[in-house]
Amino acid sequence: MLERLNEEKVFKDPVHRYIHVRYRLIWDLIGTKEFQRLRRVRQLGTTYLTFHGAEHSRFSHSLGVYEIVRRINEIFSQYDGWDEENELLSMCAALLHDVGHGPFSHSFEKVFNLDHEDFTRMVILGDTEINKVLRRVSEDFPLQVADVIAKTHNNKLVVSLISSQIDADRMDYLLRDAYFTGVSYGQFDIERILRVMRPGEDQIVIKQSGMHAVEDYIMSRYQMYWQIYFHPVTRSAEVILSKILHRAKQLFEQGYEFQYEPIHFYSLFKEDIHLEDFLKLDDSVVMFYFQIWQEEKDQILSDLCERFMNRRLFKYIEFNPMQQMNAWRELYESFHEAGIDPDYYLVVDSSSDLPYDFYRPGEEEERLPIHLLKPGGDLRELSRESDVVEAISGKKRTDHKLYFPADFILEGNTDATRRIKSLLQID
């Protein structure tokens, strides 16, 4: 039997109003140093440079995902087969699903070839405070939680609460990110969706009567990706952040003597990072180095850090390198000729999204479809019932941008810079 707190704890939350904690295990997990670290990791990375309110953390998002799963548990508890064991497992997985995220998350992972899911598993299974709390349930309970997050647990219904095309993770981040960026795109009727959720055999299903609420949710996700997550200004900041980390790593490999030794990055630069080193990294540590690297002797590192810290971002144009290969080659050569390193100052960035997909077995990242529960008990895949969803199903949209420092080019008055201006059509 789960130990209940003597008195329920609540977190005041702008999205869910209150987040309720009734069990000692959940309260103790929140109090671990590994979970508290998430207060120092922004949920949306560099998005705060585009939408100034986007300062919320992965800590608040993780609490939000837990709260949604807690509410789903209240609904599912009315049905046979959904017991306290499923409740506990799903709530712990919801709370801990992002505990392995590093600073600036996905940009950081790309540069150093990391995977936050690997580190999430290491935090849960390693010599950590979180592991000690989870083992109070049973010796194998940490492994069960890790398997749910990794989508390998044999209880597929529990997995679908945390990771599917309509899961607690997506529902919270859409609502939370919309709130903190100040936009209306991510709003949808979560109350209605929760009311029409039912436990299926292997995944969540939605009552037929809730189809329009799910349509709204999917379109909200579509809009958020293109208006917020893939915003070109945010991507410009990500490009610069990535180039800073690439430059610092290259300088380290070349034996460059930093004015202030980047000791927190050594294991990353050596590609031999251990959990203890990883958990010392957060947004504030990275920003500290960016601040002091503005004074470095290396002009590229210094300039990129100054741009990031003071929001002097790269400009951009629409540009598809596969269709404009000759222009790309000419630009690359002209940047070299102008003394502007194209490896750091001429960057193509591509973003793509698939808002909803039906089941495509055998494909990478198989997506289980959303099923509607008909009045007679039959299941019907969503896009076969919804004209709105059918219109966007399986349609992957991709956007290409070319990023560059317009100030460097406009300040130049050589044949090379004039050629660059002509190619980029800037004046």
Structural domains in the chain, CATH included, are 4-229 (1.10.3210.10), 232-351+400-424 (1.20.1250.30)
Per-residue pLDDT, 360:
45
pLDDT of residue 361: 42
Q: Give the tens place of pLDDT for each residue, 225-277.
A: 999 999 999 999 999 999 999 999 999 999 999 999 999 999 999 999 999 99
Of the pLDDT bands very low, low, confident and very high (cuts 50, 70, 90), residue 362 is very low
Beta-bridged to residue 371, according to DSSP, are 381
| pLDDT at residue 426, as a whole number | 81
| Interval 102-120: pLDDT, tens | 999 788 888 998 999 999 9
pTM of the model: 0.94
Res. 363: pLDDT tops 50: no
The answer, yes or no, to whether residue 397 has pLDDT greater than 90, is no
Quote the pLDDT of residue 181. Answer: 97
Mean local confidence (pLDDT), 393-406: 90
Residue type, 284: S
